[in-house]
Structure formats: C-alpha cells, structure tokens
C-alpha cells in the first residue's frame, strides 16, 4: 500500500456502500491486475465448489471484481454488516446472514448446504469484528464438513483510503491500480470440526503468502 493512504470518514463510507451509483462511478475507474487466475479458472472448469477466503478490510474491491457471478456471501447481522449486505445484493450476490458470533450455527448450516448444492461461497474469516487477519473457525469447519476447498483471495491497491476501523477497511481511490491475487486451492486436512478449527494458523500463513504474491 502506498504512503498516500488516509482515513476515510464513516459517513462517506456509508454513502458509498448505500449508493450503487456512487460505487459504480468509483469502481469503474479502478484498473485491475490479476495474479494466479488459473487457480479459480481451474476450479470452475472442473465444476468444483469452493470457499473464497478474504480479509474483511479488502472486501469492497473484491465484491466489485466478482460481481454478478452468483457467489453466496456470508454477512454479519449487525449494523455494519447491513451496509455491506445492501452493497453486495446490488452487485448480484446471494446472502447468508450470520457470523461466528451471531447466528453462527444457523449460518454454518446454510453455508454447508450452499456448498453441497455446488455454489461458491465467500467468507471473511476475520469478520465481523476482528481481530484483523485472525482466522475464525467458520470457513474451516464449513470446508471440513462439505469437502469444499478453500481459495485464498486478496486485494492490494496502490492508492486507497483507509477507515479508522478495526480492519482498516480499504476503499481504492479513483483510478487506483488494484491487484487481485489468488492463492492455491487448499483442503482442510482435519477429520473433525474441532480439529479443523486448529488449522487456523496454517490458513493465516497461506493468506499472508497470497498477499505477498499481490505485492502487498
């Protein structure tokens, strides 16, 4: 991230997320660079269900990049999640509401059903309240129980605003270059949900390696 990152006011974020027109005007100026596109192309060619794993702070450019693809997105039920939910629905995402702290059991069951039905699911394993970059067990348990692989995905922008929030939520500036990088599809190796949750450090390291591929 460049040195010209700066805090972005909450009211401006709300206006951006609530206004599809404003988001489109901004996002259409972004220039995307894709790293390791073969990772997702191969999964889709093989018709394999999978889980996008992305950090909460990088959500906005990734929502735009994968818009109108029918991805199912896990969104929390608290106020901040409502803003993201409205933006996501306007971009063609299906939603599962809940998180690791609110509606967890119901959300996990819904995610597993979506994966078993052959759908792609996106989860922010450090959401909705952090700590940033720490892998909560939801995505790992969903992978273990459904057999779906986890596909790491990260976004790095050369110029961006950052919110004064726990995740330093990133909003690329007009005409920013946004690098989207995919990691290698990875299986959860555990035989039980409890053991799956213990793989969190391994997947945090995989996410860090993927950010390195993006130049972040």
Compute φ and ψ for 160, nearest 5 degrees. Answer: -155, 150
- Asked if residue 182 is part of any domain, the answer here is yes
Yes or no: say if 114 and 121 are a contact pair by the CB < 8 Å rule.
Answer: yes
Of the candidates 45, 188, 214, 82, the residue with the CA atom closest to the CA atom of residue 125 = 188
- Asked if residue 1 is part of any domain, the answer here is no
- CA–CA distance, 47 with 13 (Å, rounded to integer): 36
- Asked if residue 113 is part of any domain, the answer here is yes
* Nearest-5° Cα angle at 142, 75 to 154: 60
Q: Which domain holds residue 89?
A: 6-214
- Give the chain's domain count: 1
pTM: 0.89
Count other Cβ atoms within 10 Å, centred on residue 142: 26
Task: Name 181's bridge partners.
Answer: 35, 154
- Asked if residue 63 is part of any domain, the answer here is yes
Q: Token pair of 191, please?
A: 């035989």
- CA–CA distance, 93 with 170 (Å, rounded to integer): 20
Beta strands in 24-112 (DSSP E): 31-35, 50-53, 72-75, 94-97
- Asked if residue 109 is part of any domain, the answer here is yes
Yes or no: say if 139 and 46 are a contact pair by the CB < 8 Å rule.
Answer: no
- CA–CA distance, 153 with 103 (Å, rounded to integer): 25
Q: Would you write out the chain's pLDDT as a tens digit for each of its 216 residues?
A: 444 455 545 545 555 554 667 788 899 999 999 999 999 999 999 999 999 999 999 999 999 999 999 999 998 776 666 777 888 888 999 999 876 555 468 889 999 999 999 999 999 999 788 899 999 999 999 999 999 999 999 999 999 999 888 999 899 999 999 999 999 999 999 999 999 999 999 999 999 999 999 987
- Asked if residue 75 is part of any domain, the answer here is yes
């Amino acid at each position: 991230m460049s040195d010209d990152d700066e805090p972005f006011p909450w009211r401006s974020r709300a206006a951006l997320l609530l206004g599809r027109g404003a988001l489109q005007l901004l996002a259409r100026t972004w220039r995307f660079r894709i790293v390791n596109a073969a990772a997702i192309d191969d999964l889709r060619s093989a018709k394999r269900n999978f889980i996008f794993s992305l950090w909460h702070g990088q959500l906005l450019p990734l929502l735009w990049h994968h818009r109108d693809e029918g991805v199912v997105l896990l969104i929390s039920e608290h106020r901040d999640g409502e803003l993201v939910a409205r933006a996501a629905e306007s971009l063609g995402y299906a939603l599962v509401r809940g998180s690791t702290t609110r509606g967890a059991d119901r959300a996990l069951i819904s995610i597993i059903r979506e994966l078993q039905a052959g759908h792609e699911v996106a989860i922010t394993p450090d959401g909705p309240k952090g700590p940033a970059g720490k892998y909560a067990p939801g995505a790992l348990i969903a992978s273990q129980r459904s057999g779906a692989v986890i596909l790491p995905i990260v976004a790095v922008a050369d110029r961006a605003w950052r919110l004064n929030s726990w995740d330093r939520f990133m909003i690329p500036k007009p005409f920013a270059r946004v690098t989207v990088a995919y990691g290698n599809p990875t299986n959860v190796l555990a035989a039980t949900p409890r053991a799956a949750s213990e793989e969190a450090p391994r997947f945090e390291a995989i996410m860090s390696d993927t950010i390195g591929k993006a130049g972040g």
